[in-house]
């Protein structure tokens, strides 16, 4: 396998003789080995300059020249999506199926609400741990709660205990801070127990 005569990653480009190309700047005879885009609408077509003149060309070249603010904003917005077409997520037709009536939707909503409230109000008294050393039993002792155990009762008791044992409400007492840590641990344990 033979190697190409010129490096495809060189500034002169792929398979072109850089020595034969001269700088396109008026009156310059240096080799044109550095490329610059011709125009905003021809970014893959290049002009070739020497190093000094490509720097001068780049300083004076303005991609947004001749555009007003709305056109510039449109270009910026297109660039954020890589100039690819986009569309809103989801279906364009948000109407329900023709056989679904308002009564069907109300019934589905009622069942959904019942399921949600049923989950929060599930009585776990039959499955409460009997052993006094378990984490759940210790959390119940911290909260001073018994069956029936619901998520609403746990949350309400947590709010009461936080207000009572918060260090700011107790003059920054270290004992209140320790008690609040116990309350937080117990709350995590009980909410995991009720939800699971």
3 within a domain of the structure (yes/no): no
Q: Find, among 187, 190, 151, 184, the residue nearest to 166 by Cα.
A: 184
Say how far apart CA 120 and CA 160 lie, in whole Å: 19
Range of the domain at 26: 9-66
173 within a domain of the structure (yes/no): yes
For residues 36 and 47, the answer to whether their CB atoms sit within 8 Å is yes
CATH number, domain with residue 183:
1.10.287.110
The residue among 25, 46, 66 that closes a domain is 66
Residue 115's pLDDT band (boundaries 50, 70, 90)?
confident
- Res. 125: pLDDT tops 80: no
Q: How far is CA 27 from the centre of its chain?
A: 54
Structure tokens at 17: 């003789």
pTM of the model: 0.37
Say how far apart CA 14 and CA 56 lie, in whole Å: 24
Q: How far is CA 100 from the centre of its chain?
A: 35
The residue among 18, 45, 66 that closes a domain is 66
The residue among 19, 37, 66 that closes a domain is 66
pLDDT digits (tens, 9 = 90+) for 180-189: 999 999 998 8
114 within a domain of the structure (yes/no): no
138 within a domain of the structure (yes/no): yes
Say how far apart CA 114 and CA 193 lie, in whole Å: 21
103 within a domain of the structure (yes/no): no
* Average pLDDT of the residues in 11-15: 49
Say how far apart CA 129 and CA 145 lie, in whole Å: 13
For residues 63 and 40, the answer to whether their CB atoms sit within 8 Å is yes
* Average pLDDT of the residues in 88-109: 70
* Average pLDDT of the residues in 2-12: 50
For residues 48 and 24, the answer to whether their CB atoms sit within 8 Å is yes
Look-up: residue for tokens 């893959």? 44
Percent of the chain surpassing pLDDT 90: 30
Residue 146's pLDDT band (boundaries 50, 70, 90)?
confident
Say how far apart CA 185 and CA 60 lie, in whole Å: 65
| Total count of domains within the chain | 2
Query: Is the sign of the CA dihedral 181, 185, 190, 191 positive or negative?
Result: positive
- Res. 81: pLDDT tops 60: yes
């Amino acid at each position: 396998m033979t190697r190409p005569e010129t490096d495809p990653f060189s500034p002169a480009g792929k398979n072109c003789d850089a020595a034969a190309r001269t700088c396109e700047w008026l009156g310059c005879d240096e080799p044109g080995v550095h490329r610059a885009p011709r125009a905003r609408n021809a970014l893959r077509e290049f002009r070739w300059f020497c190093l000094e003149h490509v720097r001068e060309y780049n300083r004076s070249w303005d991609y947004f020249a001749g555009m007003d603010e709305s056109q510039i904003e449109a270009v910026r917005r297109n660039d954020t999506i890589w100039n690819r077409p986009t569309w809103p997520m989801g279906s364009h037709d948000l109407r329900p199926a023709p056989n679904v009536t308002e009564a069907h939707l109300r019934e589905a909503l009622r069942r959904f609400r019942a399921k949600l409230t049923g989950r929060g109000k599930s009585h776990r008294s039959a499955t409460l741990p009997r052993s006094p050393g378990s984490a759940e039993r210790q959390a119940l002792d911290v909260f001073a709660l018994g069956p029936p155990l619901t998520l609403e009762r746990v949350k309400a008791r947590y709010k009461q205990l936080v207000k009572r044992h918060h260090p700011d409400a107790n003059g920054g007492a270290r004992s209140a801070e320790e008690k609040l840590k116990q309350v937080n641990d117990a709350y995590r344990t009980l909410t995991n127990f009720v939800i699971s």
